[in-house]
Amino acid sequence: MKNQIDVSAVKIGVVGAGGWGTALADLLALKGFKVDLWVFEKEVKEQIQEYRENKVFLPGFQLSANIFPSNDIYEVVLKKDLVLIVVPSHVMRETAQKIRGHISPGTIIVSASKGIENKTHLTMSGVLKEALPEIAENCFAVLSGPSFAREVANKFPTVIAVGSKDQKIAGYIQHLFATPYFRVYTNNDMIGLELGGAVKNVIAIAAGIMDGLGLGLNTRAALITRGLTEMRRLGLKLGADPRTFAGIAGVGDLVLTCTGNISRNHTVGKKIGGGMKLKEILSEMRMVAEGVKTAKSVYNLSRRLGVEMPISHEVYHILYNDVSPKEAVHRLMTRDLKHELDVN
């Protein structure tokens, strides 16, 4: 694997020390990069400094000495060649606004967060472009694909995609992150990559609900297949390349989150299918299940655009209108019969 990047010459800041942010920071640090990591929680910063472990969000993994944790976000982003932002989608705008004016205009901004903002219905790169107008459009990029943080930390073979409108930027990021266990493809369809990463979390909640109800493999296969159709419909309406949804950030990420028992979104769904209420479930969780908030965005956006997304809509009604999972399944299965393939 060829990599011509001089690790000593690249200054990297990672904003967000959840499981995924920590895993990506460690991947880069193990390659020899010195990585400044912004940590929101004082206790997590102290854990990383003292024990070289993020015991809250990525327990059980020894972290590289090349990671330098800090609670000072300005210190982390100042004079960097690349800033990787990995925060929950609902705080993306607030976080970006904090660092506005503290980032050099030529800095590459990479989002590894998955979601759609509730009020604006923007993807995470859209939020960043609005909040950071001093950064040129070609300097924004996104990472997406089937990638549980713990498995990346375990160095299990993982494949993701980097999206940017500038192929040179995409290629640079590709080589920056690539390792023998972390393969990176480039893709210039940023909106497709981001929609795949967002909508799959909503479908994963549905898959968890099906498992919580004790339904079988037939049901799961149908759900994944029709969920992919919904993802593609929304993507086409917003100008995405349909081929993206047949790739790793589409069907790949969808299969992972709908079948992986460590998916937070699947876990939320499974507990709902087992009879728990959403408020009760969320009160027990410290990490964010992105699909909960994204379900509201997808519901409102798809209705505004006139895109048919029945599974996503039923997830919304279960989460926010207290519709019973069994009633939602019945409504899906008794909809008007039609041709499988979309007309367009």
What pLDDT does 336 receive? Answer: 96
With a threshold of 0.85, does the pTM exceed it? Answer: yes
Quick one: average pLDDT of 98-111? Answer: 95
9 pLDDT more than 70: yes
Looking at residue 1, its pLDDT comes to 47
- pLDDT > 80? residue 74: yes
Q: Does 129 qualify as catalytic in the annotation?
A: no
Higher pLDDT, 206 or 8: 206
**Per-residue model confidence (pLDDT) at position 39:** 98
Return residue ranges of the chain for CATH 3.40.50.720.
Answer: 7-188
Instruction: Check residue 254 and give its pLDDT.
Output: 98
**Structure tokens of 285?**
């969780």
Three-class DSSP category at 149: helix
Residue 2 has pLDDT above 80, yes or no: no
**What is the number of residues in the chain?**
344
Tokens of 8: 């000593």
Query: Which of 1.10.730.10, 3.30.70.1140, 3.40.50.720, 2.60.120.560 is the CATH number of 7-188?
Result: 3.40.50.720
- The whole-number average pLDDT for the span 146-156 is 98
What average pLDDT does range 116-136 have in this prediction?
Answer: 97
Per-residue DSSP letter, 222 = H
User: What percent of the chain shows pLDDT beyond 70?
Assistant: 98
Three-state DSSP class for 78?
A: coil
Q: Are strands 108-111 and 140-144 parallel, antiparallel or unpaired?
A: parallel
Q: Rounded mean pLDDT of 119-147?
A: 97
Give me the sign of the Cα torsion angle 264, 269, 273, 279. positive
Lowest mean pLDDT among 82-91, 287-296, 321-330: 287-296
Catalytic residue among 129, 200, 271, 293, which? 200
pLDDT band (50, 70, 90) for residue 101: very high
- Proportion of the chain in helix, strand, coil states, percent, rounded to 5: 55, 10, 35
Residue 322 dihedral angles phi and psi, to the nearest 5°: 60, 30
Q: Which of 108, 123, 76, 68 is nearest to 240 (CA)?
A: 123
Query: What distance in Å separates the CA atoms of residue 184 and residue 172, rounded to the nearest whole number?
Result: 11
> For 102, how many CA atoms within 13 A lie in the half-sphere containing its CB?
15
- Within 10 A of 322 (CB to CB), how many other CB atoms are there? 9
pLDDT of 269-303, one tens digit each? 999 999 999 999 998 888 888 999 999 999 999 99
The answer to whether 328 and 318 are in contact (CB under 8 A) is yes
Q: Does domain 193-333 have CATH number 1.10.1040.10?
A: yes
Residue 324 has pLDDT above 60, yes or no: yes
Q: What is the mean pLDDT of residues 186-212?
A: 98
Looking at the chain, which residues constitute the CATH 1.10.1040.10 domain(s)? 193-333
Strand ranges across the sheet with 182-187? 67-70, 35-38, 12-15, 82-85, 108-111, 140-144, 158-163, 182-187
| Residue 167: CA count within 13 A, CB half-sphere | 0
Here the tokens at position 209 are: 């609900």
